Amino acid sequence: MQYNRILLKLSGEALMGSRSYGIDPERLHDYASEIKQITDRGVEVAIVIGGGNIFRGVAGASKGMDRVQGDHMGMLATVINGLALQSALEDSGIQVRLQSAIKINEVAEPFIRRKAIRHLEKGRVVIFGGGTGNPYFTTDSAAVLRAIEIDADVILKGTRVDGIYSSDPEKDKGATKFDFISFDDVLSKGLKVMDTTAFTLSQENRLPIIVFDMNTKGNLLKVVSGEKIGTKVNL
C-alpha cells in the first residue's frame, strides 16, 4: 500500500445517493464495502463526514437563522451521519469508534487524540463527528485538522467527480482534468478544492490531498495502492 494511515473526507450529500435528502442505505453499504477492502489490507482509516444531507448551517443563516445555532445543528447532523456509517461498517465486520468534538457521551466518545491514534493502531476505523466543535469552521477544516493531529499520510477527498478540473466539468465540456497540481497553482487558478481555511492549513503542514470519485467501485483501493486515480495536490 502507498499509504499506511489515511483521512477519508466524505460529504454529507454523498450519503443521499439518488435521494433528495437524508441517507441512502445502499450508498452506505457501498461505502462500507469500499472501506473494508483497504482495512483488510492493513490500512489505518479515519473518516470525517459532512452533514449537508441533513442540515447546513450556512444555508440556515442565509434564511435568517443565527449562524452559531445553525452551525451547531450542522455539527449534530455530522454525528447522525457518523452513527449511520458506523452501523454500516460494523455490519461489514469492521470495528469502529465514533468520536465527537462536542460532548454527546451517550452515543460517541469524546475526541481524544491519543485515544484516536490507539484505535487506529489496533485496526479500528475512527469516525470524527461534530466538526471541529466550533461554529464558522467547515468539515473540510475538521478533516485537515484531524488528519494533522493523527499524523495521516494523506487526505482523500471522495467526491462525485473524478478529480480537479480547470472549470466545472458538469457545466463546461471543455474542462481539463489535472492529474497533479501544486497548492500554489490551485490558489492562483482559483480552483475549488476545499474552503480556504482548510486548504491553507493543509498546505502549511505539507499534507497532500487527493480528490477522486468515491462512487466508482474499487477507486478507494486504487488510490491507497498508489494508482493514478483522481487529482493529487502536493507542494
Q: What is the pLDDT of residues 77-130, one digit of tens each?
A: 999 999 999 999 999 999 999 999 999 999 999 999 999 999 999 999 999 999
Structure confidence at residue 65 as a pLDDT band (50, 70, 90) = confident
Domain ranges of the chain: 5-234
pLDDT for the residue 235: 87
85-116 as b/e: b if 16+ CB within 10 A:
bbebbeebebebbbbbbbebeeebbebeeeeb
Identify the CATH class of 5-234.
alpha beta
The number of residues making up the chain comes to 235
Global confidence as pTM: 0.94
Q: What is the pLDDT of residues 14-61, one digit of tens each?
A: 999 888 889 999 999 999 999 999 999 999 999 999 999 998 766 766
Question: Which 3 state secondary structure label does DSSP give 136?
Answer: coil
Separation between Cα atoms, residue 41 and residue 36, nearest integer Å: 9
Mean predicted confidence (pLDDT) in 123-147: 97
Contact yes or no for 5/229 (Cβ under 8 A): no
Structure confidence at residue 1 as a pLDDT band (50, 70, 90) = confident
62: pLDDT strictly greater than 90: no
Mean predicted confidence (pLDDT) in 60-78: 87
Q: In Å, how far from its chain's centre is CA 199?
A: 13
